[in-house]
Each structure stands twice: as C-alpha cells, then as structure tokens.
Amino acid sequence: MDYVVYVNAFLALIFVLGLIGIVAFIFKKFSHGNFTHSTKNKKRLSLQEVFYIDAKRKLVLVKRDDVEHLILLGANSESVVEKNIKLDDSDNEDNA
C-alpha cells in the first residue's frame, strides 16, 4: 500500500479545516454579531431573563428601549403575557 496518498489526504484535510477556522475567526472578530447599520452603535434589544416552565414552555423577559415585555414561548405558539413594563429606578436598587 502506498501510505503517501493517505498522508497527503490527511494534510489536505488539516489545511482546509485550518482555513475554515481562520475565516470563521476573522468573520467573528470583525462582525461583533451586530448586523445593523445604526450610526450610534447602541444595542436597543436585549434578552434579560429566561425562565423554563417545563420542557416545552418558557417565559422570556425582553428589553427594548428601557421597556420590558414578558413573552410565553411554547412549542407551537407564542403569546405576550405583559407588555410595556416600565423600568423604575427603585427596581434597580438593592433592598438590603
């Protein structure tokens, strides 16, 4: 058997996987996961908290522009439990 063919194939595989890793690293480094074209570069949407009710349902607290929304996500449905939850300064302080 000619082992040179197997060694060349293995080295080519390592080379291709290395190139894929380098391209993925460069893309991740320069994209920052933000594909919006806003000039302020301020994130408006964030996931605040997730509470798992059971295997198929969870409550998700989403914040957008200092307003929170509580959403119930199921396997085949979504529903808004509470919307326009205003943030107060007293909610952010610790009650020691």
> What is the per-residue pLDDT across 50-69, written as a single tens digit (0 to 9) for each?
999 998 999 999 988 888 88
Residues of the chain with pLDDT under 50: 94-96
Same domain, 46 and 28: no
Q: What is the pLDDT of residue 10?
A: 95
Q: What is the pLDDT of residue 89?
A: 56
Evaluate whether residue 96 is within a structural domain: no
Evaluate whether residue 28 is within a structural domain: yes
Total structural domains in the chain? 2
Q: What is the pLDDT of residue 45?
A: 87
Same domain, 52 and 18: no
Q: What is the pLDDT of residue 95?
A: 47
21: domain range? 1-33
Q: What is the pLDDT of residue 41?
A: 61
Evaluate whether residue 13 is within a structural domain: yes
Same domain, 61 and 85: yes
27 to 13, 21, 35, 42: CA distances (angstroms): 21, 10, 12, 21
